[in-house]
Structure 1
Amino acid sequence: MKTSERAGVRERGLAGAVEETSLPSHAHPPAPLPTGRSRQVSWSVFLLVFLLSLTGCSYYGFSGAMIPQEHQTITIVPVENATASSLRDLEGSLTDLLNERFVERTRLRLITNANEADVVLTGRLIEYSDAPTSVSGNERATQNEVTISAEVRYRATESDSLLLDDTYTQSETYALSGEGAQSAADAARVVLENIADAVFADATSNW
């Protein structure tokens, strides 16, 4: 009798297995309907994107520069030169380089009256040096390094707030002899370009 009961259990188990495997292999349970939580998350994401788009409307970008919409005009005051450099017109070169970046690479319109401009950029060269960095066997310099420092301020006139107030120092080496020989003026030009690039990057990326 015990043997018969065990056999019956096995038979029912096999029958159950047959019934389970009789479902079509391609059948899938229906996709669950969105829950209240998932709908809430989707709405939150949409709202966040919408708010970010509104925030972005208050700035405009051009060549990677971000300028607030309320800033439409700029005055770039001619750079002052407080150094004892013998090189000619370093201050004029830096003024031109700043004009090129702030006016030609953004939508800012250049005006001469600082009292009417939305932003005002001022600069002053405070240090210039041209010193040897490499000496040959006969103790003659073979390579020099030009270093220039400039104080720069970038001010919003309406709020009378400083958007940028920093000192920028850049250096460039140049060979005095040989095939790659250059002059101090060549090195100074590179230094001023690097200073102008750094000023422009800081002034248009701190928003």
Structure 2
Amino acid sequence: MRVDAPPNLGHVRIDLDGEETLQLLHPKALLAFHGDPRHREDRFMDLSGMYRKRKLIKSELRGPASLILGMMPGCLMEVVDIPEDSNLLFDFRHVLFYTDGMTMKSRVQTFKNAWITRELVRMRFSGPGRIGLLSSGSIATLQLDPYVPLFVEAGSLVAYPENASIKLSVYGNPLATQHMNVQWEMTGTGPILMQTGFRDSALEDQIHKDSIVRRTLRELLPFGGVYIR
């Protein structure tokens, strides 16, 4: 399987060879299919998939074929290789597709983790195989440490090890904790996957909008509209 996901173009191209098979969890994202029409079969998801995706149907696509998948504005897609012994628990909402032959199991979280993450069920994929992940910004990988905590913005986490220790927290001095979003404090072993895009309305206003001083000078000074941008 070859995946071409150029940034800022709003689409992904996937080429399937021979008998390669892809499970597409967002069928409406499929904008073009170049191949034998019999190589697309839509099927009902199991109950856990329906619950997590709020959808009823997934598409099974077989090669040889070429696909064009559309991306939502502001979203990127990255492919992650999943080894056979992976114990990562994924937020199913980020999963766009996975390759055939992978094992997908629902994991009911402990009461503590479910209360912290506000998710009763997460999905564990066992490979070998590949997963296409939707994210805001690119996907970054960080390694957990059994003793030194890792603090992660709560809305940025995509996947974490099943045996990780999690609790809600803030960090830094009192001023930092007052202006900080809730963090997940994590310890353990293994990698976590996080999306790196973020939204800060105050920063966007500073970047994209004029200050009062600049607008005033532009209007009052001769040729202010020319020299003050």
Short-chain TM bin: under 0.3
The normalised TM-score by structure 2 is: 0.20
TM value normalised by structure 1: 0.22
Greater strand percent: which structure?
Answer: 2
Larger relative helix fraction: 1
